[in-house]
Structure 1
């Protein structure tokens, strides 16, 4: 934008200067001719009183320093100054006393030494007067014109340069405010709601900057309020969890009570994690790094008791070495629980499932969860809030966001057994992690 504004100003200013420059150059040429003729007339008039009495050698035989060539023709045929042939205007001046200036397109000045009136009174027997001729070569006034032209052109270029510099300065100021506004908007769009734009510049840009600041502050306030409300609502789960724990403790079947107590511990930990997550943003420096193999084995062991109760088989194929991915351990555990929980919730008892973990060639890892069920419903049913079967549809959306936040993604497909396949690609941890 700055370049466009500067270009437009330069083009307009250049056109205006060109429209003024052409007539100025023409006038400068005419003025140089006139000044050359005036100088020649003055030089000839200065020599007229002494034209008949100057001794030989009194005038230089070459053009003078100013370029003028002075020649005096005497009645006895003697020529003083720069040698030159008798031109018709010289003879006419000697015979009839007529002065001439710039005849036949030349800039020569020819003046008779005696006034024309005196010659007319003397009649035919009057003596022939001396004649002074001052020749002005073309290159004399052309040099004067050239110097004037160069001066005018240099002045025009200086004005054009000054105009372009002023336009560039003004455009830079205007565009600078827009750049600052755009940078602030980019930071806010990237999630930095603490970013603010210092309003400034023209009133229109200043109003936009102030409105953007108010918008960022409003969004930040709404997010904080929503975070607090979510934490409060989640905290209310502690009361029914406490009641459930009391009920479990009163069970007579101690093995069932121990299993349910362990499940309640996991649920209580999940509630605590939700409260911590919604009450504060993730702190800078918190390592987003987890071993995909270790978490997969841990969650398979956790769900194996329920798999045994429902006559399912969970198979896990994973390398012996760790596969590090850019996901926080609680998030990775929640993603695996969501995927395995979906299989238990949406497939009949006895349906097996397979988990495959492998390292990616460019870092990170891949997790594939297959089952032998009926597969996924139509694609639109997988959108959050539109899943069938009484589900909220948020489980796969949470898994997708965890994968994308790590720099990877999620792919839904059919497994080799005809059921559902969920493939997660998870990015590698950052260097500082």
Structure 2
């Protein structure tokens, strides 16, 4: 890149020098040529006036009397019609510049000047122009090298910073370079480092929460189901069948928890993908509809369809499950799930017809151990951590009736601006 910057800068400078240099040479050449013609013409007029003045005074017109009136070059003078020509000075060799002045009395003067002086002056001007061009090229080279170093050195530094982030060093450099575009990239890398640190902290906390909150109840549930499955006498066959299915589900949940506790962030990186929001919402509604039907309540959805977001499908499903479960446990009436778009974000809102969040809780409802209904207060905190780990956020946008909103990054599509 450094070489390309230098070469492109020099190419522009050379083109400018060529265009303006050639134009300047042409203009200077014409100026010198016109000045020489004007000088010779002026000499002819002056010599012609001297000849007429001598003739009017009756003085002889000879080479001796006119010698003092000729400068450089030569002249041919005719003192009247039929008079012999008088040659003054030395006729120049090679190219000549001539000018003739004549009158009605037959007097004529022709002045000759060699082109050597004109050529020398043109040569001096050309050398000056070439010297200025060389100085311009030298200055352009210095500026190009300096500008290339100014741009490539920060890019190298930014590449090293990105490499450090990829290798696990999430400390930001907070270094700026005085170039707005490069400073913007540095800001993004520093923000990414802070975001990665927060994501790792949230993941460790989530793993600890999952271990504490899920391992014990899953073990107890597994033992209870095993006892049910072992009962054979006097029990319907469907009980054993359902118990066996439940045991299978418990084993799957236990495996998920175990992988959550043991896998590192590097092994699980890149899980955020483009996902269909409708699929996750539909899956959650189907999963929770039996529980709501049993409670004589309804769960419905509305809003814009066909939205896609960049997130982890499992995490989004878990966040929605937490919100739907809270509405079932603490809310009343119908639960509505609404999807919409705001800016470059997809929003999934969950609301019910219950009394909502107490005024004294407000935004503290997402803090750990904070609950208004004698629960652990962990569900919403874990749900917010999951949302932030995907680059989104979970907010309480309205307290009465309660409206929880999950904000996710919208997946860019062709044609979007």
Bin of the TM-score, shorter chain as denominator length: 0.3 to 0.5
Which TM-score applies when normalising by structure 2? 0.47
